Structures are given as structure tokens and as C-alpha cells.
Amino acid sequence: MAKAIMIQGTMSNAGKSFFAAALCRIFKQDGYSCAPFKSQNMALNSYITAEGCEIGRAQAMQAEAAGIEPSVLMNPVLLKPTTNMGSQIIVNGRAVGNMTAREYFRRKSELIPKIKEAYEELSGKHDIIVIEGAGSPVELNLKSDDIVNMGMAKIAKAPVLLVGDIDRGGIFAQLLGTLGLLEPDEFSMVKGLVVNKFRGDISLFDSGKDILFKRGGKPVLGVVPQLDCDIEDEDSLSSKLEGTSVGLIDIAVIKLPKISNFTDYDVFLQYDGVSVRYVTKYEELDNPDMIIIPGTKSTICDMKWLRESGMEAVIKRSAANGVPVFGICGGYQMLGETIADPLDTECGGSISGMGLLRCRTVFMGEKRQTQTRGRFRNIGGFFSCLSGAEFSGYEIHMGSTDSGERPMLDCGGAYSGNVYGCYIHGLFDSSEVSERIVKRLYENKGITYRGGVVDRGAYKECQYDMLADGVRRNIDTELLYRIVEEGI
């Protein structure tokens, strides 16, 4: 069985996912076979593995950092919120139904055997498992039958590193308060503290490390600076969703209330002069060079929001004025004429879409989840330049769409003039696709794009190395390995 180390945080967005990814990369660089694990993830950004199973995007990212193929064993339970009160429950990569939060908390202990089984199988294949917790380990009203923080640490017999976010302030209250609320046996499992996202001269926190050790009784493994590296983020609190700067080429992504897989558009940020803005109000849309309607976990509810917020009218006006509009997954469904959910797979009911494509979507009982690759057909319209381009990606959707339009891809999708839609997440990651789009957008402004070709895979590898190097320089790696070796 593998050695294990667990990363817990003082709150959501403390940097657990990135720190876990850094450790995965560090262990890989040092010659170990390493894998990530998160027993229960709650996220709308997800990924389809090679075996056709759905897991959290963060674990797929961490697997990439570790240099291994993502597996369903890395995230046996995934919760995808459909409303403010409930989620779709995915177990071992397959949807098993929707539950309210109350119902899920009443039944989550039933998942412990499946979590143990997945962890033990994964542990048997690697040297080190990097386990990520969720939120805070001391949400006292939620600790009963915990399966993701200290409950998971006990299952795996994993020593714990506690990560706090100094950028958000109150680092002493975060770390010392969390330690103070742990039960004695839980406290003994914490072997080190990490101060994350420090800005400025780290030496100024030397006295802070002494204070944490004296008051908390735990050594500070390191003080990690705010690192300038571009790693895919699944968290809805991601700073990428807050960007408002406008580049020479302005791509506007509609920030739907239940937006999913927003990392699909990160690739465009690698191109010179291109900005990606996430827009929540129709007044903010302005006059972009391209509009993207992204995926969503609640298509009908988000279509209502588009209509009631006034965003639909502005998008349709922009499309009529020649602005290219691209819909992915739920965004593709919204571009059509009707969306129906007769089985209440999401929020139920039916609604008319934007009518920019002659497509009709009906939600079915079984989710389609598969990796796919192929080519664009010989297409016309604004993005006729995409004809013949190769792509790869994955599909995650309950809806089945009948199209009266010409197919865009050799596996479906549709287009009409300057409006395009399909189900493929990761479509733009192909340099052949994203580069042709960027060149066409430049050309539409009467400018020649002179930047280089983007290799998304090589770029991400470089970013993982930068992340690992930044963390390695600022933690006590000797102490890290001692903690892993000694366990609890």
C-alpha cells in the first residue's frame, strides 16, 4: 500500500487543490509514482476519464501534474449542484440521481465502503497518495459521518498538512482556530502548517512562524508565495471569473449562474492580445469580438436567467450584427428552439431557447459521458476556417439534441451563419482549433495575427513545473518526506 499525505484547508479556496497538485509534481520529479485522491468533491467543473467516468476537474488536473492518466478511483463521489438546495450525485463516475442537501447528509455514510474500496485500489498502484480535503475540517454542524476531511484521514491513516490563506487575512485565527476546534485524536494527526498565498517579503513572516509553532504546537512546513503560474481552477471562487480587462481581441463568456467547465476557455488567454471576460450583466457585454455561452448544470433555469436578466436579447442583437456566437454543451442547447426536461433530471419543465439554431433538446434519463476526437466538417459561415481542423475532448450531458441545421463536426453539433454549437468540452484546447479562431477574429478587425502557435499540453507541463518549483523553494522538503514516511 502507498504512503499517504492529506491536504486540508482552513476554508474553501485556501489553495488546497493547487498545493496538492504541487506535491504531486514534486513527488513525480523526485521519481515516485504518485496519484491524487479526493473522496468527495463538489464542483460543476468535471472531466471524463478514458473509461468514460466523470470526476472532478481538479483531480484530473492533479493527475496531469503527477504524470498519470486520470482515473475514477481518484474521486469516487462527485456532487454537482443543480439548485441551491440539491445536487446530482455521482458515485464511481456515474450519476445515481439527485438529492437535497439534507437527504445527502442523511445517507452519505452509505458511501464509506465505496470510498474505501476506491482508495485501497488506487493505493495499491502507487508509492504516494496525495489526498485533498474539502472546505474546512471543523464545520462542527457537518462533522457527523465526515467522509472528506478527518474522516478520510482516518480511513487512509494519513498525516495531515493544514493550509491557510494569508492573502484573505486572519491567518493566525484561521490556523490556530482550526487547530483549537479539532478533537484530540484529530489534532494529533496534523503534522504541519502551510501559510499560503503570501505577497511580499516572506522573511517578514519569520516571527509569524514562531508564533504559530508556540501557540499551535505544530511546525510550519513553509510559507508559500502567491505564485504566478496558470493552473486550471475548478473553484467557483476562481479569480479568472472576475477578470474585466479587454484585449485587442475581446472574448466574452456568459457567466451563467450554474456555469460549468469554465476552464474550456483558458487556452485563449495564451494568445497575444486576447482577453477572456466573464460577463454577468447585459450592460457589461458591450461589443465583443466573440461571445461564448458555456456549459451549465441547470440548462432550463439558466435559460430563464438569460431571458429575465436581459442577456438573451443582447446576445441575439449581437448575433444579428455579425458577432460570432459559440455555445458549448448547455450553451449549445440554449441556442436552439426548445429545451425539455420531462424526467426532472435537472430542474424539470420546458422552455423555449434563443432560436439561433434550429435544434430541439430533450433531457434523457442516462447521461452521455465519453472522450471523443474527430474533425470539423467542411463548414461555412464566420468560422469556415475551421473546416477540417482536428479536435479532441469529452462529452458530459443528459440532453439529446435533434438538429435541423448542418452538422459542424463529424460527431454532430450545428452551425448557421455566425452561430455555432456542440457538446464537446475541451474543443478549443486543440491548437489547430484555437489558433484558427484567433486568426479569424484578428482578420475580422483587419489585423494579421503574428503570434506563435499555442501547444496547450506543453504549456500546462511548464506551468506544473513552475508550480512545483515555487512550492519546493518555500517548504521544508526534508520535513515533508519525514511526515510522509512516519505517517500518523
Residue 47 identity (one-letter amino acid): Y
How far is residue 134's CA from residue 88's CA, in Å, rounded to a whole number?
Answer: 18
Our answer to whether residue 329 is catalytic in this structure is: yes
- CA atoms of 173 and 152, how far apart (whole Å): 24
Which regions of 404-469 does DSSP assign to beta strands (E)?
A: 414-416, 419-422
Q: State the virtual CA torsion across 409, 411, 414, 420 in degrees, nearest 10.
A: -50
- The amino acid present at 119, given as its one-letter code, is Y
Instruction: Beginning with the edge strand found earlier in the chain, give each strand of the sheet holding 86-91 in spatial order.
Output: 40-42, 77-81, 86-91, 94-100
d(CA 322, CA 324): 6
- The grid cell for 368 is 452521455
Quick one: which of 282, 293, 364 has its CA closest to 327?
293
d(CA 199, CA 57): 27
> Comparing C-alpha atoms, which of 107, 127, 187, 192 is closest to residue 154?
187
Count the Cβ atoms, other than its own, within 10 Å of residue 452: 11
Is there a catalytic annotation at residue 425?
yes
Among the listed residues 214, 237, 189, the one whose alpha carbon sits nearest the alpha carbon of residue 8: 189
Helix (H) or strand (E) holding 405: none
Point out the catalytic residue in the list 34, 329, 359, 422.
329
The helix (H) or strand (E) run that includes residue 470 is helix 456-472
Torsions phi, psi of 114, nearest 5?
-70, -40
Q: Please give the grid coordinates belonging to residue 341.
A: 426536461
**What is the distance of C-alpha 450 from the center of its chain?**
31
Which runs of consecutive H residues, i.e. helices, occur in 166-226? 171-181, 184-189, 206-216
Query: CA-to-CA distance for 391 and 370, rounded, in angstroms?
Result: 14
d(CA 142, CA 155): 18
* Of 175, 172, 171, 173, nearest in space to 160 by CA: 175
* 64 Cβ neighbours under 8 A, 6+ residues apart: 70, 460, 464
Name the CA radius of gyration of the chain, rounded. Answer: 23
* Residues designated as active site: 329, 425
